[in-house]
Amino acid sequence: MNENDIKFLEDSFKKYYFDHFDQIRVPDRTSEREFGFQKFNYGMTRHISLKDDKELHLLLMKNIPSDVYCSNACYSFPNLPMNEKDWKEADLIFDIDAKDLNLDCRINHTVSVCTECNTTSTAQKQCPKCNSTKLEKKSLPCTNCIDHSKMEVKKLVEILVDDFAIDKNNIHIYFSGNEGFHIYVYDSQFQDLGSRERSELADYILFKGVIPETFGMKKFKPNRSSFPDFAEKGWRGRFSQEVYGSKSKRSKIISELITDGYSSFQSTLEGLTERIGVKIDPNVTMDIHRIFRLPGSLNSKSGLTKTLCKDVSKFNPYIEASFLDDKIVEIMADCPVEFKLKNKKFGPYKAEKITIPTYAAVYMICKKLATIT
């Protein structure tokens, strides 16, 4: 990214941080958390400890970071190197990202930026100009992606509440600031679990590693009565709804499943993983030392804010998470697909000079699809 672009982004980010201090709060148990940040074109600075909102605001003003992070873990000494921090516990966290959902719409709003010659295109494999295969993919907003991510969030919350008895008030859902959602679980029985245990929890939620016996199917002489029923809780109940469809079909479908045999049942389960498993990123959930994007901070992939969703079903990130101002700026835009922010349509632009509100300019520059003139 060139210096003018960085200066423009830093000015815009600084203004946001100055105008919206009320939105950027340190989490509970502040002094036990590790904070970190990145600046545009710089690596990560981490192992920082902060006392309160005031110190955080000072850090933001002094450094104008592109991204700000805070640990889900609590430590005795958050500012020491990792193995001296003395890990105490960590909130359970989940990341649901539209890019992991294998949606058909992706191809329509993904732009490739060639890392060799900087050409922007909608090509998926090769740069149309220099034939390089080194392409950086940038995705632009799409309501379909957000709607599907929301469905995954809903499925996740259902499992957390029904299977793991987590109080709904202890589940906080945030729009990530780009294309997905971050879900936090506070004060649960899982606070002190290590990474391997959390990986098991992730597999449970992903519906991964499941064996036919769990659903009553055996290699030899399967017994009809051990197949799941509608009234059952947990995955057996969800299996019933998905595989039988209705109570009247249960008996017939069990007969079919038994006739088709064990290995066919196994493939049925694999198909189910894709359909009923919740598509969380397991790497995030099992990381107990992660510094996770700080709520209220800006995401440098978009210039949008990581925002708390009070009612996720009604939440529109491309209106409610866009807080940068409307001041008109001039940019050179090379953005082959259309996008919508604050209810306004933008693009496509074919390497042209345009005047545009700051929030949209930041959005495109963050995606490397425009530069300031």
Partner 1 sequence: MLALGPDEIAKYPFLADAGQYLKDKGFTLEQFGTDPDLKSLIDKAFDRIEVAADGKVYKSDLIADQVSKEAALPREVFSFLLAIVLLKLSGMHTLIKRFALAEARRAEKYLERDLANISDESKKQLAIRVIDDLFSVQVKKQDDYFVIPVSDYLKHSINFHEREWKLINRHVENGHVFLTPHETVRLIRKELGTYINSKIVNAKTPQMISGFEEPVSKLVSLSKKFATSVVTTGEYPPCIKHAIDVLEKGENLPHSGRFMLATFLLSKGQTVEQIAPLFKNAPDYNERVTLYQLNHLAGTSGSGTQYSCPSCEKLKTQSLCFAIPECDNITNPLQFGKKRVQ
Catalytic (active-site) positions: 95, 97, 281
Q: Does 44 bind partner 1 (CB under 8 A)?
A: no
Closest CB to partner 1 among residues 168, 233: 233
Q: Does 154 bind partner 1 (CB under 8 A)?
A: no
Of 283, 313, 355, 373, which one interacts with partner 1 (CB under 8 A)? 283
| DSSP code for 195 | H
Span interacting with partner 1, options 14-22, 50-58, 67-75, 157-165, rule CB under 8 A: 157-165
Identity of the amino acid at 277:
G
Of 59, 73, 201, 298, which one interacts with partner 1 (CB under 8 A)? 201
Distance of CA 359 to the CA centre of its chain: 21
Q: Which residues in the 114-153 window bind partner 1 by CB under 8 A?
A: 115, 133-136
Q: Does 180 bind partner 1 (CB under 8 A)?
A: no
Read off the tokens for 334: 């090379």
Q: Does 270 bind partner 1 (CB under 8 A)?
A: no
Q: How far is the CB of 296 from partner 1 (least distance, A)?
A: 27
Q: How far is the CB of 288 from partner 1 (least distance, A)?
A: 13
Residue 19 phi/psi, 5-degree rounding, is -75, -20
Question: Which SS3 state, helix, strand or coil, does residue 179 take?
Answer: coil
Task: Work out the burial of residue 51: count CB atoms within 10 Å of its CB; fewer than 13 is exposed, 13-18 middle, 19 or more buried.
Answer: exposed
Q: Which residues in the 47-106 window bind partner 1 by CB under 8 A?
A: 81-83
Q: How far is the CB of 360 from partner 1 (least distance, A)?
A: 27
Span interacting with partner 1, options 25-33, 145-153, 200-208, 352-360, rule CB under 8 A: 200-208
| DSSP code for 354 | E
Report how far residue 258's alpha carbon sits from residue 253's, in angstroms, rounded to the nearest whole number: 9
Of 127, 193, 333, 354, which one interacts with partner 1 (CB under 8 A)? 193
Q: Does 171 bind partner 1 (CB under 8 A)?
A: no
Read off the tokens for 238: 């969800």
Q: Does 315 bind partner 1 (CB under 8 A)?
A: no
Q: How far is the CB of 83 from partner 1 (least distance, A)?
A: 7
Closest CB to partner 1 among residues 108, 189: 189
Number of C-beta neighbours around residue 146 at 10 A: 19
Q: How far is the CB of 204 from partner 1 (least distance, A)?
A: 4
Q: By the 8 A CB rule, do 163 and 234 touch?
A: yes
Report how far residue 107's alpha carbon sits from residue 122's, in angstroms, rounded to the nearest whole number: 8
Positive or negative, the Cα torsion across 148, 72, 290, 20?
positive
Q: How far is the CB of 164 from partner 1 (least distance, A)?
A: 5
Task: Work out the burial of residue 372: count CB atoms within 10 Å of its CB; fewer than 13 is exposed, 13-18 middle, 19 or more buried.
Answer: middle
Of 11, 19, 187, 197, which one interacts with partner 1 (CB under 8 A)? 197
Span interacting with partner 1, options 71-79, 93-101, 186-194, 344-352, rule CB under 8 A: 186-194
Report how far residue 97's alpha carbon sits from residue 182's, in angstroms, rounded to the nearest whole number: 9
Q: How far is the CB of 78 from partner 1 (least distance, A)?
A: 15
Q: Does 235 bind partner 1 (CB under 8 A)?
A: yes
Question: Which SS3 state, helix, strand or coil, does residue 47 take?
Answer: strand
Q: Does 220 bind partner 1 (CB under 8 A)?
A: no
Of 213, 325, 326, 352, which one interacts with partner 1 (CB under 8 A)? 213
Question: Which SS3 state, helix, strand or coil, does residue 189 take?
Answer: coil
Q: Does 317 bind partner 1 (CB under 8 A)?
A: no
What DSSP string describes 293-323? Answer: EPTTPEETTTTEE-EE-SSGGG--HHHHT--
Residues in Cβ contact with 48 at an 8 Å cutoff, skipping those fewer than 6 apart: 34, 35, 36, 37, 59, 78, 79
Residues in Cβ contact with 106 at an 8 Å cutoff, skipping those fewer than 6 apart: 98, 99, 139, 145
Closest CB to partner 1 among residues 162, 338: 162
Q: What residue ranges bind partner 1 (CB under 8 A)? A: 81-83, 115, 133-136, 162-166, 189-190, 192-193, 196-197, 199-204, 206-211, 213-214, 233-236, 282-283, 286
